[in-house]
Amino acid sequence: MIYFIGAFLCPISILIVQIFCGASIGNLNLSVEKLKYEITSQEKTNESLDMQVSELTSFDKVKDVVKNMGLAYNNDNIVVVEK
């Protein structure tokens, strides 16, 4: 009689363990997808900020700022550093 109960409870307990493991794996997959989305979003933001930095540090922009501040552009004062 005990063997029949054990034989009945074993498959049921295996099924319950599979359900809980499947649920936890699904939850982990959802967390991974959320993190991938956040990483992609942050990469786009970083790329946009890099483009803004490039625009603001361009020679024409610097030249305009210097001109607006009343300073003169003197080509003789520019030193080019090479490696």
- Rounded to whole angstroms, how far apart are CA atoms 58 and 66? 12
Half-sphere exposure of 31 (CA within 13 A, CB side): 6
Digit-coded pLDDT (tens) for 15-42: 888 988 888 999 999 999 999 999 999 9
Q: Which residues contact 66 (CB under 8 A, 6 or more apart)?
A: 73
Which pair of structure tokens corresponds to residue 53? 């930095």
Residue 4 included in any domain: no
Residue 5 included in any domain: no
- Rounded to whole angstroms, how far apart are CA atoms 41 and 64? 33
Residue 31 included in any domain: yes
Q: Provide the pLDDT for residue 32.
A: 97
Residue 17 included in any domain: yes
- CA distances to 1, 4, 20, 58, 73 from 10, in Å: 14, 10, 16, 72, 86
pTM above 0.75, yes or no: no
Total count of domains within the chain: 1
